[in-house]
Amino acid sequence: MVNSHGAASRVLTSIDLRPHHGAGPIELGMDRAAVRCILGEPGHVIAAHQIEAGDTTIAVPARDSYWEGELQVHYDTAERVEFIEVFRGNTLRSARLEELELFSGPVYDLLEQLAALTGQPYESDDPDAPQCFTFPGLDLGLWQQQSPAGSDGLDSAGVGIPGYYSEEQI
């Protein structure tokens, strides 16, 4: 596959998520240059920046985007991977955590299966985003674009460094 810069990039159609470790060939804590050696040049690059929202300043991390945004690699200020998010799409069709396929099946069933498999509870306590779920003990984030009731599979899944979903990080 050729990215928007005309450079070839490694394409994955399936990826395994490993909480606190990484996703596919990308490891949490890996430096940006190493990621690019593995995946090639990203199709889109977002520089770290800040957003002002009233009295609050929100830091937005640097991010590399691959395969039309289906793989997003977020970096900390030292340009080390801190979060990897995968989106269901035309290229990336499968995301797995151990034996569970995350992009198919009823969402609430998937959440219960993940909780049983990992021994970790999930949270969904944001009334403004009822389709967002986290497993804080795993630093695993899940998202469903539509209302999860009756929907088939998640639309994205991401893994972060230990503590990514702690109160200090959010």
Phi, psi of 118 (to 5 degrees): -95, -15
If one counts the domains in the chain, the total is 1
In this structure, is residue 142 part of a structural domain?
yes
Residue type present at position 169: Q
pLDDT band at 4 (very low <50, low <70, confident <90, very high): very low
What pLDDT score was predicted for residue 1? 45
Residue type present at position 103: F
Phi, psi of 32 (to 5 degrees): -60, -40
CATH code, domain carrying 136? 2.60.460
pLDDT band at 13 (very low <50, low <70, confident <90, very high): confident
Q: 143 is in which domain, residue-wise? A: 16-160
In this structure, is residue 169 part of a structural domain?
no
The pTM of the full predicted model, rounded to 2 decimals, is 0.85
Asked if residue 83 has pLDDT above 50, the reply is yes
First to last CA, the chain: 35
Q: How confident is the model over 37-80, as pLDDT tens digits?
A: 999 999 999 999 999 988 988 888 899 999 888 999 999 999 99
In this structure, is residue 170 part of a structural domain?
no
In this structure, is residue 83 part of a structural domain?
yes
As a whole number of angstroms, the distance between CA 147 and CA 47 comes to 31
Give the residue, 159 or 58, on which the prediction is more confident.
159
In this structure, is residue 52 part of a structural domain?
yes
In this structure, is residue 104 part of a structural domain?
yes
Q: State the Cα torsion 6-67-33-48 to the nearest 10°.
A: 100
Instruction: Name 130's Cβ contacts closer than 8 Å, sequence gap at least 6.
Output: 124, 147, 148
